[in-house]
Chain A
Amino acid sequence: MPNDIIPAMTLTIEQVEHIANLARLELSASEKERMSQQLSAILDYVNRLQSLDTAGIPPTSSVLPPRSVLRLDEPHPGLDLETLLRNAPETEADQFRVPPVLD
């Protein structure tokens, strides 16, 4: 019943653009339109969680009990550079090559 009083969720095109920018996703105009409709419908559905009283309930980020997993700090051979760089689209002097970061 508390679901009824939560207004239908709408995600505007501007909000879609803001999220897409955070996620580094280029979207076409039609994708933004579809994303606005579909994400609004999904958010509308998940909004039923807001009706649950969770005061005093701790969040679960992992089902496993928290513990530290440590190993001895000993050097051991890993994969070689050539192998690691093999999947990169562009490399130079044993490094990943990218275009300029600044305009």
Chain B
Amino acid sequence: MSTLTELSLSEVTTGLRHGNFSSRELAQAYLERIERLDPALHTFLTLTPELALVQADQADQLLSDWRKNGGAAPSPLLGIPLAVKDILCVAGVRCTCGSRILENFIPPYNATSVARLRQAGMVILGKTNTDEFAMGSSTENSAYGVTHNPWDLSRVPGGSSGGSAAAVAAGLAPLALGTDTGGSVRQPASLCGVTGLKPTYGRVSRYGLVAFGSSLDVVGVFGHSAADAALVFAQMAGQDTLDATSVELPVPEFQPDASTKPSLYGLRVGVPGEYFITGMQPEVEAAIHQAITILEELGAVIQPVSLPHTQYALPVYYLIAPAEASANLARYDGVRYGPRQPAEVMWDVFRHTRGELFGPEVKRRIMLGTYALSAGYYDAYYGQAQKVRTLIKRDFDQAFTQVNLIATPATPNTAFRIGEHADDPLSMYLEDIFTLPANLAGVPGIAFPAGFDSKGLPIGIQLTAASFQEDLLFRAAHAYQQATDWHTRRPSLNQS
């Protein structure tokens, strides 16, 4: 039965429709694999096997009805298992956000992204590990232990959506949801050798996503290919009356070109010099240049482009995101949810509950954000960061008048060792320098495998496009994946 987990998504969809195997058998195959491999990887925080089998049986019923009665073809996602980052609400299933302050929180409703995927008949396997409240680049900030990179267990999977990225890489789920505030989908996708999409800000409803940085947060997806990610994106995207920032725009359908060399003729791809910096891993730089050559061979025109304010993205991000986080996390006060630290007066309940149950990185960012917003410092820090954010956004606006896509490395280095950045928050923040600018500008980005370094660790390329042009990201990434096989490589997990 374990071979079911090795099929491609389109093979699984076909197999389910033909009745070669059932959704229940598929879910069981993944649950068995999780049981066998996850103790060493720790990608899941909560498993929902009973729920998964009920949902799989519902999918099997719909598939069987369709085989009998015909009619419109069911969604290609019907009966397909899904892992969900533990920061998106699934009704009735514990949602910890990787934090002790929500260790027993049971959301009473589904996130819209989750609800729409359930509508298509996807089967939820469980909730995946994350840095606490999505603040981190390694899952080391999870209160429930680190996730291990399936390519090298001594290394991090990236973060904050590291559990979802590692679960897909290890074949514990064919698809997984993540969230991306500063790179939390694209950076772990890069470090785990999978495809990760960060949609345009406003494209996917955030209702039921526990808020971190409200002007930056988006819901994204991991899969083995751009075509797989595109299916989930199409199902999730679109306006939602429950999220006032979701945008009412049509979502263009992506139809993957099945030829081995789909043409990228007519696309202009910009390469910004600011993303090839001294200090980055030379093997990463070489692999990205190689990948850009392949895009050129597929018909794209490659040209230099400049994003002159790139170096300011990190300082801007580390003022704006913590400022927004300090406001969003004010709600964790031991009154409406979570455990409460007892005290005589309410103000002490707040201070002790928050002081005891938030982890070090969350406290650091609350402090940083509170400082940046405090009287006397607001203009110099938060205000100035918002103005420089405008300059960063204008860089992208300007670049996208010249090119359709921008190609860069997704990360400066391949996966780092667990503990390598311990107690040096700034060095950890620098791992995200290539992914932060897209969040500040709101533009969509996709990261996917473009080679391996000499240690056998995946290297990721990132493509960004102008707002609401996810279809261009899918077209280019899909063409690259038709012409190469990096995305089909799997880690060898020698389990006992």
Q: Using a CB–CB distance below 8 Å, which chain A residues touch chain B?
A: 11, 15-16, 19-20, 22-27, 31, 34-35, 38-39, 41-43, 45-50, 52, 54, 57-64, 69, 71, 79, 83-84, 86-90, 96, 98-103
Contact A48 B312 (CB under 8 A): yes
Bound complex: CA A69 to CA B339 (Å): 35
Interface residues of chain B, those whose CB is within 8 Å of chain A, are 104-106, 108-109, 201-202, 215, 241, 244-245, 247, 311-312, 314-316, 318-319, 326, 330, 333-340, 343-347, 349-352, 354-356, 358, 360, 363-364, 366-368, 370-371, 374, 380-381, 383-391, 393, 425-426, 429, 440-442, 467
B215 contacts which chain A residues (CB < 8 A)? 61-63
For A48, give the chain B residue with the smallest CB separation.
Answer: B315
Cβ B336 vs Cβ A71 within 8 A: no
B338 CB contacts on chain A under 8 angstroms: 87, 89
Cβ 8 A contact of A64, one of B202, B425, B440: B202
Contact between chains at A35 and B367 (CB < 8 Å): yes
The binding surface of chain B is classed by DSSP as helix
- Least distance between B363 CB and chain A CB atoms (Å): 6
Contact across chains for B106 and A98 when beta carbons are under 8 A apart: no
Tell me which residues across on chain B come within 8 A of A45, comparing CB atoms: 314-315, 318, 426
CB of B363 within 8 A of CB of A25, answer yes
Q: How distant is the Cα of A100 from the Cα of B345 in the complex, in angstroms?
A: 5
Q: Are A89 and B340 CB-contacts (below 8 A) given A31-B363, A63-B215?
A: yes
Tell whether, in the assembled complex, residue B358 and residue A88 are in contact, meaning their CB atoms are under 8 Å apart: no
Q: Which chain A positions have C-beta within 8 A of B425?
A: 38, 41-42
A19 engages B390 (CB within 8 Å): no
- What is the bound-complex CA distance between A49 and B381, given in angstroms? 8
List of B residues within 8 angstroms of A34 by Cβ: 360
Q: Choose among B354, B356, B440 the residue with the greatest number of A CB atoms under 10 Å from its CB.
A: B354
Contact of A98 with B354 in the complex, beta carbons under 8 Å: no
Residues of B within 8 A of A52 (CB): 312, 384, 388, 391
Selected from B352, B366, B380, the residue in CB contact (under 8 A) with A23 is: B366
Q: Closest CB of chain B to A10's CB: distance in Å?
A: 13
Q: Are A79 and B426 in contact (CB under 8 A)?
A: no
Residues of A close to B354: CB separation below 8 A: 23-26
Cβ–Cβ < 8 Å partners of B383 in chain A: 59
A23 adjacent to B387 (CB under 8 Å): no
Q: How far is the CA of A100 from the CA of B391 in the complex (A)?
A: 48
Kindly state the separation between the CA atoms of A19 and B385 in the bound complex, as whole angstroms: 20
A60, B389: Cβ atoms under 8 Å?
yes
Contact B315 A63 (CB under 8 A): no
Q: How far is the CA of A98 from the CA of B348 in the complex (A)?
A: 11
CB distance from B316 to the nearest CB of A (A): 7
> Nearest chain B CB to A62's CB is how many angstroms away?
5
Contact A59 B315, beta carbon cutoff 8 Å: no
Residue of B nearest to A62 (CB): B215
User: Measured between alpha carbons, how far is A59 from B390 in the docked complex, in Å?
Assistant: 6
Taking a contact as CB atoms under 8 Å apart, the answer to whether A19 and B349 are in contact is no
Task: For A43, list chain B residues within 8 Å (CB).
Answer: 368, 371
Find out whether the CB atom of A57 lies under 8 angstroms from the CB atom of B387.
Answer: yes
- Shortest C-beta distance, B279 to chain A (Å), equals 15
Q: Please name all residues of chain A whose beta carbon is closer than 8 Å to the beta carbon of B318 when the two chains form the complex.
A: 42, 45-46
Asked whether A63 and B201 contact (CB < 8 A) given A16-B367, A23-B367, the answer is yes
The answer to whether residues A27 and B363 also contact, given A45-B315, A54-B384 and a CB cut-off of 8 A, is yes
Residues on B with beta carbons closer than 8 Å to the beta carbon of A15: 371
Partner of B358, one of A16, A25, A60, A69: A25
The minimal Cβ–Cβ distance linking A96 to chain B, given in whole angstroms, is 5
Given contacts A25-B351, A87-B336, 12 further A-B pairs with CB under 8 A are A15-B371, A23-B354, A23-B370, A27-B355, A52-B384, A54-B391, A57-B387, A57-B390, A59-B387, A64-B247, A88-B337, A99-B346
- Nearest-neighbour CB distance to chain A for B255, whole angstroms, equals 28
CA distance A59 to B215 in the complex (A): 13
In the bound complex, do residue A101 and residue B108 qualify as a contact, i.e. CB atoms below 8 Å apart?
Answer: no
**A26 close to B387 (CB less than 8 A):** no
| Complex: chain B residue closest to A38, CB-CB | B425
Contact between A57 and B385, CB atoms less than 8 A apart: no
> Contact: B441 with A63, CB < 8 Å?
yes
CB distance from A51 to the nearest CB of B (A): 10
